[in-house]
Amino acid sequence: MSLAIRYHQSTKYAPETIGGHPGLDWDSQPLAWKEYHSDGGVELAHLLPLDPNPFTGKPPQATGAWQGRTLAALSRWIYFTYGVTAVMRNPGRDLLLRAAPSAGGLYPAEMYLAVRDWPGLEPGLYGYDPRRHRLVLLADGGDLHAALTASAYGNAALAAAPVIAAVTGVWQRSRWRYQERAYRRILLDIGHLIGNAGLVAHALGLRLHATAAFCDQRADDALRLEGEHEGVLALLALNLPGPAERPSWTALPSPASDAASAPSLDLLHRASRLPEVRPRLVAQGEVASDALELAHGWASGDRLRGAGCAGPVPLAGDQLGTILRRRSCRRFHPGPISRDALARILAASYLPEQVALGEQPSFDRGSLSTFIAIISVEGVAPGVYYLAPHQLELRPVRPGDPREAARFIALGQDLGGDAGAMIFHTADLQACVRAQGDRTYRYLHLDAGVIGQRMNLAALGEGLGASGIGGFFDDHTADLLGIPRDQAVVYITVLGQPATA
């Protein structure tokens, strides 16, 4: 059995073991950001279109052009991707809420920018300081940009990019609370961040290419990371509009390793590393898309594609404002959501280019399947459905009201039972490992986080609430969906009417 499969099995939640957590040592909680003690750096806060500006306390300044390759555009791209959008005052330590959601508010991701050619910035490697919204120069010169491109086997999209953002995971920030299951949470959180990055790039007249196909050792060495504490998980090329560069890739296979000892976050991350020589490409795209469309096709379905999603979705008119307002919904009013709203949310999630959200990044999305538990949606009978993503067709899997089952699998949270719809991302993990090795575990969770973030934002655009659920009873969820327990439930998103009090 591969390490990825064993890791997934060993980190499942079950009713009989869920209470076994040893408790949290609040005195040892890691900081959710890196501390940069330099007084210098490139200040970006004054370039934000916020009134009043939370960093300066002043009205927004006239910045001239804020789209394309300008410093104002880069300031907005970073901020609306992963900047601090609110502060919760707490005794001892404030909670800095970020543009992208994070399990437990732990924010395990870090962003570094390798600059080759961007107005207002000298070539070099910069760390992002979210508390002041500034870039801190860590190393000068263009060598770091070239090193990251080389780590991705000469990926043409990275080579052409004026800026490459390296997104890392800091393991202990999430592990402190979620133990070995933390790797799941970290990857989903970074997927959320990338979901923002793609939408914001499109809104700013830029183009994003995201890849998780790189030699880990070379990428970590370029950033001078200590691999046992932090590792690169995605590289983001911020490019100007135009045709996609070739050759480029988003996912490459690693070996599949047998687990000789108890699987852990560290073991899985090391086992899924890519070597210095580029692995062979695995066919993606058409075949995978067709397989998703034909799955569970034994019963005629309810095609949602024409239901109110023939033009731009509300999110398309205000990506930045929606990101700024976004918060995970903590409580739903148990009322119905409309069929048209659900259709538009799903269109934004799976067909963004058709609803004015532009081409959005993905890694190996054809490996993810989607199921929906309809609890309270106007015009759709309660039950469990498979979603054929390109036709937005709901195909019945199991009739009946799934409300109580949804509440139970969400660890007893009312958020599950009171939702209008619960959306599941799943994968045939054994088939994925055969195709992509242990590294498939990264791609599956990154893609689920990217899609989940678009779903969150599209729901807010419809006046609804949404929340991602990364903690659930894995096997009971598979039973509800009618899939084998050895398949992976990767992520859950709930949609509903937000409670007003």
3-class state of residue 262 by DSSP = coil
- Look at residue 186 and tell me whether its pLDDT is greater than 60: yes
Please give the domain boundaries of the chain with CATH numbers for all domains: 3-10+66-271 (3.40.109.10), 286-498 (3.40.109.10)
Share of the chain above pLDDT 70, in %: 95
Residue type, 155: N
pLDDT in tens, 476-499: 999 999 999 999 999 999 999 998
Q: CA–CA separation, 443 vs 436, rounded Å? A: 9
| CA neighbor of 230 nearest in space, from 282, 157, 169, 172 | 169
Q: In the chain, what's the furthest Cα-to-Cα distance?
A: 64
φ and ψ at residue 388, rounded to 5 degrees: -80, 110
pLDDT in tens, 153-169: 999 999 999 999 999 99
- Look at residue 20 and tell me whether its pLDDT is greater than 80: no
What is the structure's pLDDT at 291? 76
First and final C-alpha spacing in the chain: 49
Cα dihedral: 97, 83, 167, 175 (round 10): -10
Whether cis (ω within 30° of 0) applies to the bond prior to 247 is yes
What is the structure's pLDDT at 310? 62
pLDDT in tens, 45-86: 999 988 788 888 877 776 666 777 899 999 999 999 999 999
Task: Report which of residues 89 and 359 the model is more confident about.
Answer: 359
| 128 strand-pairing partners | 135
159-162 long-range contacts, Cβ below 8 Å, gap at least 24? 159/245, 160/237, 160/239, 160/245, 161/116, 161/209, 161/237, 161/238, 161/239, 162/69, 162/115, 162/116, 162/117, 162/118, 162/238, 162/239, 162/240
Q: CA–CA separation, 166 vs 176, rounded Å? A: 23
443: left (phi over 0), alpha (psi -120 to 50) or beta: alpha
What is the structure's pLDDT at 284? 60
3-class state of residue 493 by DSSP = strand
- When the pLDDT of each residue in the chain is averaged and rounded to a whole number, the result is 91
- Least confident residue range of 13-22, 199-208, 283-292, 362-371: 283-292
